[in-house]
C-alpha cells in the first residue's frame, strides 16, 4: 500500500494521474491519495517516481480510523502501539526504499552525465543570482557537513544527497516526524510519543534511530479522523524537478495547467506573464513537440527565465521576450494555447484594479488566441466569477475587433466550456461558477475559445522558505498553511476598495 | 530570438501602426544552436507561420540557404527541405541586434537573445 501527498485542491488530479499511469485502485481524502500495488516491479516504481502532481510518495505503514480513540489518551496510545508492532510492513517499506534508492542513483548518474557540464558552467553565476530562500534550503540541507561547504551550497547539497542515498546499509536508520492536530494535540506529549513510537518501531523493524542524518523518516500524521503512518520513498519531494532550478510556481500546479490545456504536437504555447518560465519548462519537459513562447514585462524575470532554461539543460523549443502582457506584441490568432499564472503571487503588483486588469488581459488573450485555442488561467478563487463574466465580455470585444477587419477568428456557434478546476475546499465559489457555466451554455453566445480557470492558489513560498527538514516533517500541514498564505496577501493588496499599493 | 518567434511578433501595438509585420531584423550577432529535428513538428509549424516572412527573415540574418522563395506542395516528404526549414525556424538565433518596425521605424533592441518589445507610454494607444 502506498499513499501520495498532493497540494490541497489537487488531489483529484493526482488520483486520476495515478489511475491512468499505474492502473491501481485508489481512494483519496484531504491531501492524500492511497493506492495499492502488490508486487511492484522496477518499471512501476519508476512510474511512481515520475508522478507529476504528487508532492511525496510514502509506503504506508499504518492507516486507520481514529475517531474511536480520540477521547482517551490511553486508548489512543494502546491502539497506535499495537498498529505499529507488526513486522511485515516494515520489511516491505525497507525493500521498497532500498529499491527506489537504487533507481534514483542510476538515474542520477545518467542525469549527471548529461547536465554536469552545464551545471558547472552555471554554478558561479547561480551563486550570486540564487534567491535567498533557496540558498537557505541548500544550506539547511548541508548543515551537517560542516562549514567548509558553505561556499558551494549547490554542489555540496548534491554530493551529500548522493552520499547518503548511496550508502544504505543493511540496517536503515530513521527518525520520527510526528504531526498532530485536533483534539489530541493538547493531550499528547509529542516528544515523548515520538520517543515511545520510535522505540516500538526500532523493535519491530530492525531499523536504528539516528537523529542527525537518518536514511529515512517515519512520518506520523494524527488528526481526529485518521492516523496515517508512512515512510517517504524519496528524500526529495517528487515535486522538486531536476530541470527546474528556481521555480516561480509550484511544479505540480504548473503541470496541471499544461495538462488542462491539452497541449498537442505542433502547438504554439504562450505564457504572456511567464515570470521565471516555470510553466513553460514544465510544459516542455512533458510535451516536447510544441513551441513555447514566454514573455514578461520585467527584464529581471526574463533574465531568470533564460537562466532557468539554460540550467535545465533542455534544448527547449521556445523563446523568451520582454513584453507587456496587457499589450502583447503578437500577431492576431497566433497562439494555440495560452497559459498564465495570472493573479501573481506576493511579488507582483498590477497597476490597476483586478477588474480592469482582467478586462484588458482577456481582450488580449482573445485577440492572440487562434479560433479553438485553449486558455488556462490560474486565478484567485475570489475573482473567479468576476473573471467568468469578463470572459463573456471579451467575447463581444472579439467580435468588435472582427468588424474592423483586422482579424478574422472563425466563429463557431458552440457554447463555451468553462470548468473550475482544483478547488475542493471552497464550495461557495464552485457553486457560483457552476451557475455561471450553466448560464453560459444556455445563452446564445458564440464560442471562440475554451477557457479553463484554475483557482488553487497555493503559495510556493512555504516550499521555498521551509527547510527540507521541516518539509519532510510536515507534508500536510504546511500545504494547508501555504494555501492561505499564498492567498491572503494577494487579496489584501489587490482588493478594489483599497487599490493597489505601489 | 528564434525566427519562429520573429514570425509571431508584430509592432502593431504602437499607436498608428496598422500591420507592423514582418519586423525588419538588423542583426549584429547571430548563432546557430542545435535543436532536435522533428519533421512532424516542422510540417505542423508550416501551417502556422507566414512563410514569406520567414524566408525574408532567414535571408536577412544570412541563413537563408536551402530555402525556396515559395513553398511547393512537395514539402511534406522532402527531408532536406524540412531540415533547412527546421534550421531557419528553430536553430538560427539572433543574439544581438534590433527589430525594426516596418512602418514607424521604431527599434526594438535584442539583447542576449531576448527582444525587448516594451513601449513607452506615449507610444501606446489608449
Chain B residues in contact with A293 by the CB 8 A cut-off are 5, 8
- Read off the pLDDT of residues A102-133 as tens digits, 9 standing for 90 and up: 888 877 665 554 444 444 444 444 444 444 44
The whole-angstrom separation of Cα B82 and Cα A198 is: 64
Mutant choice from B7, B8, B37, B119 vs A, greatest count of A C-beta within 10 A: B8
Flag whether pLDDT at A405 surpasses 60.
Answer: no
Q: In chain B, which among 12-51 make CB contacts under 8 A with chain A?
A: 13, 18, 21, 33-36, 38, 40-41, 43-45, 48, 50
Average pLDDT over residues A328-338: 89
This prediction has a pTM of 0.73
Closest residue in chain A to residue B46, using alpha carbons only: A266
| SS3 state of residue A88 | helix
Give A459's pLDDT tier (boundaries 50, 70, 90).
very low
Residue B122 forms part of a structural domain? no
The whole-angstrom separation of Cα B2 and Cα A289 is: 16
Longest dimension (CA), chain A: 79
Residue B47 forms part of a structural domain? yes
Instruction: Kindly list the domain boundaries of chain A, sorted by start residue.
Output: 55-240, 251-492
The shortest C-alpha distance from A289 to chain B (Å) reads 6
B100 touches chain A (CB under 8 A): no
- Helices A42-49 and A88-129 pack at an angle, to 10 degrees, of 40
Among A340-344, A482-486, B40-44, which is the least confidently predicted range?
A: A482-486
Question: What's the pLDDT at B54?
Answer: 95
Question: What's the pLDDT at B29?
Answer: 95
At B72, give phi and psi (nearest 5°).
Answer: -85, -170
Q: Which percentage of chain A shows pLDDT scores above 70?
A: 60
| SS3 state of residue A172 | coil
Owning domain of residue B75: 3-117
Flag whether pLDDT at B81 surpasses 90.
Answer: yes
The whole-angstrom separation of Cα A386 and Cα A324 is: 23
Question: What's the pLDDT at A239?
Answer: 82
The whole-angstrom separation of Cα A323 and Cα B119 is: 8
Average pLDDT of every residue of chain A: 68
Give A486's pLDDT tier (boundaries 50, 70, 90).
very low
**Cβ contact A306–B21 (<8 Å):** no
Chain B residues in contact with A302 by the CB 8 A cut-off are 114
Paired sense of beta strands A450-454 and A369-378, if any: parallel
Average pLDDT over residues A143-169: 43
Instruction: Give the residue among A219, A213, A233 at the shortest CA–CA distance from A160.
Output: A213
Superfamily of domain A55-240: THUMP superfamily (3.30.2300.10)
What ipTM score was computed for the predicted complex, to two decimals?
0.95
Residue B49 forms part of a structural domain? yes
B80 touches chain A (CB under 8 A): no
The DSSP bridge partners found for residue A171 are none
Walk across the sheet containing A418-421 and list its strands: A318-322, A291-296, A268-271, A335-340, A369-378, A450-454, A418-421
Q: What number of other Cβ atoms are within 10 A of residue A234's Cβ?
A: 19
Residue B125 forms part of a structural domain? no
Question: What's the pLDDT at A402?
Answer: 36
Out of B48, B114, B124, closest to residue A320 by CB: B114
Give A20's pLDDT tier (boundaries 50, 70, 90).
confident
Average pLDDT over residues A322-341: 89
Average pLDDT over residues A149-156: 40
Asked if residue A387 lies in contact with residue A377, where contact means CB atoms within 8 angstroms, the answer is: yes
A18 touches chain B (CB under 8 A): no
Residue of higher predicted confidence among A157 and A168: A168
The whole-angstrom separation of Cα B105 and Cα B88 is: 25
CATH assignment of the domain containing B18: 2.20.25.10
Residue B123 forms part of a structural domain? no
B116 touches chain A (CB under 8 A): yes
- Read off the pLDDT of residues A235-263 as tens digits, 9 standing for 90 and up: 888 888 877 776 667 788 888 888 888 89
Residue of higher predicted confidence among A430 and A177: A177
Residue B35 forms part of a structural domain? yes
DSSP secondary structure letter of residue A8 = T
Closest residue in chain A to residue B20, using alpha carbons only: A331
Residue B37 forms part of a structural domain? yes
Q: Alpha helix (H) ranges present in A369-426? A: 384-403
Mutant choice from B108, B117, B125 vs A, greatest count of A C-beta within 10 A: B117
Look up residue B44 and give its three cell numbers: 505542423
Residues for chain B: how many in total?
Answer: 126
CA of residue A460 relative to chain centroid, distance: 8
The structural domain count of chain B equals 1
Flag whether pLDDT at A314 surpasses 80.
Answer: yes
Burial class (CB in 10 A: 0-12, 13-18, 19+), A249: buried
Flag whether pLDDT at A284 surpasses 90.
Answer: yes
So what's the architecture of A251-492 in CATH? 3-Layer(aba) Sandwich (3.40)
Average pLDDT over residues A201-208: 89
Q: Is the dihedral of CA A450, A456, A460, A461 positive or negative?
A: positive
Amino acid at each position: 500500500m502506498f499513499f501520495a501527498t498532493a497540494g490541497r485542491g489537487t488531489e483529484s488530479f493526482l488520483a486520476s494521474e495515478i489511475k491512468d499511469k499505474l492502473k491501481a485502485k485508489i481512494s483519496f481524502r484531504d491531501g492524500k491519495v492511497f493506492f495499492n500495488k502488490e508486487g511492484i516491479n522496477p518499471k512501476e516504481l519508476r512510474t511512481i517516481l515520475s508522478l507529476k502532481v504528487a508532492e511525496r510518495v510514502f509506503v504506508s505503514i499504518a492507516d486507520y480510523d481514529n475517531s474511536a480513540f480520540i477521547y482517551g489518551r490511553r486508548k489512543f496510545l494502546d491502539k497506535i502501539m499495537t498498529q505499529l508492532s507488526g513486522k511485515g510492513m516494515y520489511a516491505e517499506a525497507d525493500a521498497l526504499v532500498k529499491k527506489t534508492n537504487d533507481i534514483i542513483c542510476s538515474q542520477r548518474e545518467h542525469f549527471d552525465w548529461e547536465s554536469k557540464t552545464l551545471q558547472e558552467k552555471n554554478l558561479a553565476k547561480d551563486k550570486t543570482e540564487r534567491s535567498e530562500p533557496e540558498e537557505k534550503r541548500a544550506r539547511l540541507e548541508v548543515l551537517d557537513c560542516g562549514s567548509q561547504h558553505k561556499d558551494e551550497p549547490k554542489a555540496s547539497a548534491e554530493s551529500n544527497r548522493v552520499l547518503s542515498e548511496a550508502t544504505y546499509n543493511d540496517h536503515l536508520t530513521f527518525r520520527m516526524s510526528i504531526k498532530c492536530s485536533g483534539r489530541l494535540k493538547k493531550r499528547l506529549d509529542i516528544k515523548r510519543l515520538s520517543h515511545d513510537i520510535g522505540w516500538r518501531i526500532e523493535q519491530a523493524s530492525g531499523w536504528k534511530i539516528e537523529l542527525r542524518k537518518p536514511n529515512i523518516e517515519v512520518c506520523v500524521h494524527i488528526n481526529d479522523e485518521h492516523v496515517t503512518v508512512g515512510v517517504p520513498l524519496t528524500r526529495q519531494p517528487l515535486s522538486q524537478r531536476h530541470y527546474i532550478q528556481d521555480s516561480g510556481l509550484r511544479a505540480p500546479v504548473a503541470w496541471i495547467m499544461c495538462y488542462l490545456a491539452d497541449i498537442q504536437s505542433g502547438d504554439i504555447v504562450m505564457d504572456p506573464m511567464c515570470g521565471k518560465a516555470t510553466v513553460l519548462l514544465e510544459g516542455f519537459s512533458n510535451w516536447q513537440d510544441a513551441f513555447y513562447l514566454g514573455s514578461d514585462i520585467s527584464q529581471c524575470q526574463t533574465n531568470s527565465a533564460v537562466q532557468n532554461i539554460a540550467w535545465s539543460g533542455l534544448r527547449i523549443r521556445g523563446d523568451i521576450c520582454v513584453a507587456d502582457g496587457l499589450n502583447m506584441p503578437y500577431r492576431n490568432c497566433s497562439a494555440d494555447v495560452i497559459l498564465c499564472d495570472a493573479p501573481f503571487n506576493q511579488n507582483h503588483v498590477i497597476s490597476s484594479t483586478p477588474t480592469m486588469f482582467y478586462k484588458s488581459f482577456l481582450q488580449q488573450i482573445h485577440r492572440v488566441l487562434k479560433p479553438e485555442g485553449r486558455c488556462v488561467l490560474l486565478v484567485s478563487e475570489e475573482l473567479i466569477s468576476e473573471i467568468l463574466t469578463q470572459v463573456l465580455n471579451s467575447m463581444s470585444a472579439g467580435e468588435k475587433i472582427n468588424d474592423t477587419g483586422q482579424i478574422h477568428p472563425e466563429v463557431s456557434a458552440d457554447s463555451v466550456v468553462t470548468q473550475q478546476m482544483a478547488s475542493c475546499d471552497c464550495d461557495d465559489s464552485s457553486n457560483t461558477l457552476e451557475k455561471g457555466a450553466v448560464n453560459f451554455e444556455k445563452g446564445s453566445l458564440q464560442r471562440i475559445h475554451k477557457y479553463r480557470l484554475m483557482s488553487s492558489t497555493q503559495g510556493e513560498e512555504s516550499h521555498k522558505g521551509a527547510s527540507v527538514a521541516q518539509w519532510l516533517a510536515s507534508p500536510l500541514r504546511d500545504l494547508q498553511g501555504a494555501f492561505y498564505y499564498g492567498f491572503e496577501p494577494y487579496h489584501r493588496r489587490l482588493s478594489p476598495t483599497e487599490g493597489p499599493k505601489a | 530570438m528564434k525566427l519562429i518567434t520573429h514570425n509571431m511578433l508584430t509592432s502593431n501595438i504602437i499607436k498608428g501602426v496598422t500591420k507592423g509585420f514582418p519586423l525588419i531584423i538588423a542583426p549584429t550577432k547571430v548563432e546557430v544552436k542545435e535543436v532536435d529535428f522533428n519533421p512532424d513538428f516542422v510540417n505542423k509549424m508550416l501551417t502556422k507561420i507566414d512563410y514569406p516572412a520567414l524566408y525574408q527573415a532567414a535571408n536577412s540574418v544570412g541563413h537563408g540557404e536551402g530555402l525556396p522563395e515559395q513553398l511547393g506542395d512537395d514539402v511534406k516528404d522532402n527531408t532536406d527541405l524540412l531540415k533547412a526549414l527546421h534550421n531557419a525556424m528553430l536553430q538560427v538565433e539572433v543574439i544581438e541586434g534590433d527589430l525594426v518596425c516596418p512602418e514607424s521605424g521604431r527599434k526594438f533592441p535584442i539583447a542576449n537573445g531576448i527582444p525587448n518589445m516594451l513601449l513607452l507610454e506615449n507610444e501606446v494607444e489608449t
